[in-house]
Structures are given as structure tokens and as C-alpha cells.
Amino acid sequence: MTATSDAPAAESTKPAKPPTSVTVLPHPELCPVGVSFEARTGQKLVDALLANGVAIEHACEKVCACATCHVHIREGLAGLPAADEDEEDQLDDAWGLDAQSRLSCCVKLNGTRLVVELPKYSKNHARE
């Protein structure tokens, strides 16, 4: 006798989440005229930025260990989960820290429209 499965196809019928709208304010080097794009919900903000031509630094390869991917979330911050302890610890080293600071490798897009400002400088220990 041959075993067969009557289980439905896993996960393939889940409806796709709507994309997340992201606006990046102008930055003299990384994004001179600013940019707006739709990104996949669930994607890390840093990956969405890189995929849309914003060459933000990510010295630790996006594992919350360097703070070079620091951004300011100028709109939409309240719609994001709060930073965890690891992110808060890394943010202490970020240049230009303020109350809207986040690490873009720690922010997962969740459908909340975001307006992002890139800090003028980043803290890159590899360059010091």
C-alpha cells in the first residue's frame, strides 16, 4: 500500500500583504532628490532602501551590531513595534541620535507608511 497525503498545499494560498509605502527625504550623498517606493511588507527597511537605490551603510551585514544603518523615522514611527534592547544598545553609538532614531536592519515593514530621513553621517568603526 502506498501512503498518500490529503493535506492541502501549505501556505501557497495565503493572500499577499499589501506593499508598504516608503518615502526617503533628500540626502546630499545617498539620495539627492529623495525617493518614494513601495516595498514588500515583512522586508527589512535596510533591504528595501538598498533595493531602491539608497546605498545606506550596513557594516555588520544587518545583524544589529554596528549602528551604521541608523535612520530617523519622521512619519510612521508609532505604527512600528518598539526597538528591543539590542537595538537600543546599538543606537547609543549612532551619530545624531534622536527620539525617532531606529536601525533600519531592525525595522520590518508592516504596512505602516514611513517617511525616513537619513542622518548626515553614520558611525562606521571600520573607517575610523
Point out which residues bind ligand FES (CB under 6 A): 58-60, 62, 64-69, 90, 103, 105
Closest separation in Å from C-beta 94 to ligand FES? 9
> Can you say whether residue 56 is alpha, beta or left, with left for phi > 0 and alpha for psi between -120 and 50 degrees?
beta
CA distance 35 to 55: 12
Which CB, 54 or 105, lies closer to ligand FES? 105
Which CB, 64 or 83, lies closer to ligand FES? 64
Strand partners, 102: 71
Contacts of 4 (CB under 8 A, 6+ apart): none
Closest separation in Å from C-beta 65 to ligand FES? 5
Which CB, 62 or 108, lies closer to ligand FES? 62
